[in-house]
């Protein structure tokens, strides 16, 4: 069961959950109220998000508060870094085009 952060954020519902939890820790029931789907479906999403360590649980009585591990989000940022270098150095699509033609001619 390969489960990484990129697969986790692929689903729009999960991205919405992340955005909601980012502001404040919440219980599954409270989260589910924001969506049209069932509580169980949200619970499944929470499980997936937890599995790749984007969320942590905090039990309080019979309620469980899910909290976003914002640090984990930096992994995406880290992956983007390799491209950030490029989009900062390429100032126009024309530059990009010309360099490609040059490379092809080799």
Partner DNA sequence: TATATTTGCAACCAATCGGTTTCAAAATAA
Partner DNA sequence: TTATTTTGAAACCGATTGGTTGCAAATATA
Binding site for DNA (CB under 7 A): 1, 3, 7, 10-11, 13, 27-30, 37-41, 43-48, 57, 61-64
For residues 94 and 89, give the distance between their C-alpha atoms in angstroms, rounded to a whole number: 13
Per the structure block, which two tokens stand in for 43? 């619970």
List for the chain the helix, strand, coil content (%; round to 5). 65, 10, 25
Considering the complex, state which of residue 27 and residue 67 has its C-beta at the smaller distance from DNA. Answer: 27
Residue 7 CB, nearest approach to DNA (Å): 6
Closest CA relative to residue 66, chosen from 94, 34, 88: 34
Considering the complex, state which of residue 8 and residue 42 has its C-beta at the smaller distance from a copy of itself. Answer: 8
Binding mask 18-57 for a copy of itself (x = CB under 8 A): xx--x-xx--------------------------------
């Amino acid at each position: 069961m390969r489960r990484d952060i990129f697969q986790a954020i692929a689903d729009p519902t999960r991205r919405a959950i992340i955005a909601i939890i980012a502001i404040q820790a919440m219980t599954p029931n409270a989260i589910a109220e924001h969506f049209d789907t069932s509580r169980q479906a949200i619970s499944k999403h929470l499980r997936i998000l937890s599995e790749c360590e984007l969320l942590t649980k905090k039990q309080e009585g019979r309620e469980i508060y899910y909290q976003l591990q914002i640090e984990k989000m930096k992994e995406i940022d880290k992956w983007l870094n390799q491209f950030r270098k490029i989009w900062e150095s390429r100032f126009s699509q024309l530059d990009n085009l010309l360099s490609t033609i040059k490379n092809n001619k080799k």
